Amino acid sequence: MQRAAAVALLVGLFGCGTTSDGTLRPEAAAFDQVIAASAEEVSTWRLTGVRVAVPTELRVARNPDELFPKQEIVWWGDPDGNRRAQVAKIVEDAAKLGAIGLPGRRNVVLEIKVALFHGVTPRARRSPVAPAWHDINFSATIRDASSGAVLAQESSLNADIIAFRGTQAQKAEREGQTQKVRVSNRIALVVHEWLESSGADFGFAQPRLVRPRPPVTPRRVTAPAPVPEPVVPPVKEAPKPKRPEKLPDGSNFQKL
């Protein structure tokens, strides 16, 4: 309980942000109640899958020029495409990152139902003054992978995180802190802390909020250029002395 209280306090110290209705409020804690499972139980679990549901009743924002869309799904951190599928993939991958360290042998499945995935529009991201917030809420349940029995009752989780704007957003992008990376890391951390609120303690991958390494390009190995052999000038024979046409006494040579 002390660990859970400390986690909730830490999560609540991030200031204020903008919710989907355009109003300001303090950021909520990551979860209202600790996971309904003991440390001993959680320590026996091993994650084998994550199932994410994005209900069809959640509306998808389409206008990139709104500051505070009223829809539940607001996402421009990926190229144009199926926003529901993109949100489901982000949540699935992030939840795996948060729970993959479960050390036990009992196979479990983490079920997640998205309630709100309210990022920021391109207009809000460009604005240097408009407050911006990634407002992300979902519920989580743990089930036995074989029987489907509920091992941890549904809990409401909150993965809110402040959104960068203006030049801060541009700088973050250059450093690899994209919206997708930051939101994914936040979801992973919330899922991990929820599981550890039982008192269990297991490993967690470090956040990826770092400058991404450039892809390694294989160095082309080239053979060294052949060293040309030294050019040895041909040895010129010394010219034969020219036989004088006349002897010193003035007489001609006689052919033998």
pLDDT for 241-250, tens place per residue? 565 555 555 5
Model confidence at 222: pLDDT above 80: no
Domains and CATH numbers, the chain: 2-196 (3.40.50)
Total count of residues recorded for the chain: 256
Residues 102-155 have pLDDT tens digits of 999 999 999 999 999 999 999 988 887 766 889 999 999 999 999 999 999 999
Q: In whole angstroms, what is the distance from residue 197 CA to residue 37 CA?
A: 9
**Residue 164 pLDDT more than 50?**
yes
CA separation for the pair 146, 216 (Å, rounded): 42
* More confident call, 48 vs 129: 48
Output the pLDDT for position 214. 45
Work out the pLDDT band at 26, boundaries 50, 70, 90. very low
For the beta carbon of residue 212, count every other beta carbon within 10 angstroms.
Answer: 11
Percent of the chain with pLDDT over 70: 70
Mean pLDDT of 27-36: 83
DSSP codes of every residue in the chain: -HHHHHHHHHHTTT-EEE-TTS-EEEPPPSBSS--SS-HHHHTTEEEEEEEEE--TTS-B---TT-SS--SSEE--SS-SS-HHHHHHHHHHHHHHHHHTT---SEEEEEEEEEEEEE---HHHHH-SSS--EEEEEEEEEEEETTT--EEEEEEEEE--EEPP-HHHHHHHHHTT--HHHHHHHHHHHHHHHHHHTTS-----PPP--SPPPPPPPPPPP-PPPPPPPPP-PPPPPPPPPPPPSB-TTSPBP---
Q: DSSP letters along 197-212, please? A: TTS-----PPP--SPP
Asked if pLDDT for residue 17 goes beyond 60, the answer is: no
What pLDDT was estimated at residue 47?
Answer: 97
Q: What are the tens digits of pLDDT across the range 60-108?
A: 999 999 988 999 999 999 999 999 999 999 999 999 999 999 999 999 9
Centroid of chain to Cα 45: 26
Q: Is the pLDDT of residue 215 over 70?
A: no
Nearest CA to 124 among 194, 174, 74, 78? 74
Residue 205 has pLDDT above 80, yes or no: no
